[in-house]
């Protein structure tokens, strides 16, 4: 299997950035995921061919990191942190609320493909706990009610792009002191935009 011309060119550019082909495995996996909307077996096979790793080795990397989705995800991936700080401040209740509002259980995707819900490990926002992410855009100080309202709003408005600042404004609570600058673009799906890090194989 090969991808279309444009994707193959990007893949070649990514591989070209590293002295060892195998070092390109992670950005290539994002590329494969962007291609199919999730990390398909064919996508992993192609990454194996491009890196000289075996399929099993690529699967090993892909299955280690939770942000590589090997099953399809909904339009909005809601990741609720349940690690220690968030757990102490009610993260599990937020998760329950989000699951109840969307009708999608932890680790699942709804039948209509709108929401995926998952619990996450610490997302680096302990100071603003409890925190959650929509398509990896961060919102802090989220109560169960906030979580429910957030999901309702997403379902009603279906924004094509979600932006952390915007969501924080609408549904967030107390922020941590080190709330950093937010990426201008926002998120269009569950595949993180890895372009700004210079690993996307575009331009250069």
Partner 1 sequence: MAEQPTLVTITVDGKPAQVPAGTLLIEAVKAAGVHIPHFCYHPRMKPVGMCRMCLIEVEGPRGMLLTTSCTTPVADGMAVHTESDTVKKAQEGVLEFLLLNHPLDCPVCDRGGECPLQDQTMACGPGESRMVEEKRHYPKPIPISDLVLLDRERCILCARCTRFSDEISGDPLIEFKGRGNAVEVNTFPDEPFASYFSGNTVQICPVGALTATPYRFRARPWDLEAVESTCPHCSVGCRISVQSSRNQVLRFMGVDNGPTNQGWLCDKGRFGFEYLGSPQRLAAPLIRNADGVLQEAAWSDALDLVAERLGALAAGGPDVVAGLGGARGTNEEAFAFGKFLRETLGTNNLDAQLGDGLDARLLAGITARGTIDDLERARTVLVWAPDLKEELPVLYLRVRRAATELGARLIVVHPRETGLDPVAAHTIRYRPGAGTELLRRLADGSGDLAEARRALGEGPVVAIVGRPGAGDDPRLAEAVLAFAAGLPGATLLPVTRRSNVYGAADMGLDPGLLPGRVAAPAGTGGRDAAGIIEGLIAGEVAGLVLLGADPVADYLEPARAAAALEAASFTVAIGLFLDESAAMADVVLPALGFAEVEGTVTNLEGRVQKVNRLLPGPAGARPTHEILEDIARRMGGSIGAASAEALAAEMAATAPAYAGITWEALSWGEGRRGIVAPGPAGSQPLVHAPEDHAPPPVGRNLVLHLARVLYDQGTLTQAGPSLAKLARPAAAHVHPEDATRFGIPAGATVRVTGSGGSVELPTVFDPSLVAGTVYLPLHCGASIGAGLEITMEAVS
Write out the residues near ligand FES by the rule CB under 6 A.
Answer: 81, 83-86, 122-126, 129, 131
* CA separation for the pair 132, 25 (Å, rounded): 28
Q: Which is nearer to partner 1, 48 or 190 (CB)?
A: 48
1 is a contact residue toward partner 1 (CB under 8 A): no
3-state secondary structure of 97: helix
CA distance to 25, 112, 132, 169, 182, per residue, from 173 (Å): 38, 29, 11, 8, 17
Contact partner at residue 204 from partner 1, ligand FES, none, CB < 5 to 8 Å by partner kind: none
Contact partner at residue 50 from partner 1, ligand FES, none, CB < 5 to 8 Å by partner kind: none
Given the rule CB under 8 A, which of 59-67, 83-91, 107-115, 157-165 is the region that contacts partner 1? 59-67
Contact partner at residue 65 from partner 1, ligand FES, none, CB < 5 to 8 Å by partner kind: partner 1
Question: Which of positions 36-55 make contact with partner 1 (CB under 8 A)?
Answer: 41, 44, 53-55
In the chain, alpha helices (H): 5-16, 25-36, 41-51, 55-64, 84-88, 91-102, 144-157, 164-171
* CA separation for the pair 73, 51 (Å, rounded): 26
204 is a contact residue toward partner 1 (CB under 8 A): no
Contact partner at residue 84 from ligand FES, partner 1, none, CB < 5 to 8 Å by partner kind: ligand FES
* CA separation for the pair 183, 66 (Å, rounded): 21
63 is a contact residue toward partner 1 (CB under 8 A): yes
* CA separation for the pair 34, 27 (Å, rounded): 11
* CA separation for the pair 129, 45 (Å, rounded): 39
Question: What are the tokens at 125?
Answer: 């926002």
Question: Which of positions 172-191 make contact with partner 1 (CB under 8 A)?
Answer: none
User: What is the DSSP annotation of 33-56?
Assistant: HHHHSS--HHHHHHHHHHHT--HH
Contact partner at residue 125 from partner 1, ligand FES, none, CB < 5 to 8 Å by partner kind: ligand FES
Taking CB under 8 A as the criterion, the residue among 7, 57, 85, 176 binding partner 1 is 57
Q: Which residues bind partner 1 (CB under 8 A)?
A: 41, 44, 53-57, 59-60, 63-66
């Amino acid at each position: 299997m090969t991808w279309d011309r444009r994707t193959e060119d990007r893949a070649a550019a990514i591989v070209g950035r590293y002295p060892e082909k195998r070092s390109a495995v992670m950005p290539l996996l994002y590329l494969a995921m962007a291609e199919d909307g999730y990390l398909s077996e064919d996508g992993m096979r192609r990454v194996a061919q491009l890196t000289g790793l075996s399929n099993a080795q690529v699967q090993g990397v892909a299955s280690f990191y939770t942000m590589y989705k090997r099953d399809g995800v909904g339009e909005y991936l809601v990741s609720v942190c349940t690690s220690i700080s968030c757990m102490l401040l009610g993260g599990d209740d937020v998760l329950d609320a989000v699951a109840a509002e969307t009708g999608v259980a932890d680790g699942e995707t709804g039948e209509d493909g709108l929401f995926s819900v998952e619990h996450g490990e610490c997302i680096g926002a302990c100071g603003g706990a409890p925190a959650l992410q929509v398509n990896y855009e961060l919102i802090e100080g989220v109560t169960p009610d906030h979580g429910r309202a957030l999901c309702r709003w997403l379902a009603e408005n279906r924004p094509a792009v979600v932006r952390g600042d915007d969501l924080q404004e609408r549904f967030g609570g107390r922020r941590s002191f080190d709330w950093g600058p937010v990426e201008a673009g926002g998120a269009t799906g569950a595949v993180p935009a890895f372009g700004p890090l210079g690993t996307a194989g575009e331009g250069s």
